Amino acid sequence: MNQKKTTKHTAARKRPASVYKLVIKKSARKELDSLTDELFLKIDRAILSLKNDPFPHPQSEKLKGEDSRRLRVGDYRIVYTVDIADKILTIYKIRHRRDAYR
């Protein structure tokens, strides 16, 4: 009777991931297209990971005074919103950190 003990961490891994629908605005697509190949791949990986976990901690933070969130990817910021009820994640901006909040 060697039964494995289920803990909070193992139970979390067993739950199926709820995948969010990804919407990328036209302006964000243009910003993605202007990136170098290496940077594009890095940001693309980060965007795809948001579909499974739209609130990664500590890289993602809520922006003050807005419903938007931001995700840090090196010197770049991805600004997005999450509609939890409809499971939609919308990317608005992908910019260098010096320009992201202007």
Residue 11 lies in a domain: no
pLDDT value at 16 more than 80: no
Return the residue matching tokens 């010197």. 75
pLDDT of residue 5: 54
Residue-range definition of the domain harbouring residue 83 = 18-96
Residue 42 lies in a domain: yes
Residue 68 lies in a domain: yes
Residue 9 lies in a domain: no
Residue 12 lies in a domain: no
Q: What is the CATH number of the domain that holds 91?
A: 3.30.2310.20
Residue 25 lies in a domain: yes
In this structure, the number of other CB atoms found within 10 A of the CB of residue 39 comes to 16
Which has the minimum average pLDDT: 13-22, 26-35, 42-51, 72-81?
A: 13-22
Provide, rounded to the nearest whole percent, the portion of the chain with pLDDT above 70.
83
Domain count, the chain: 1
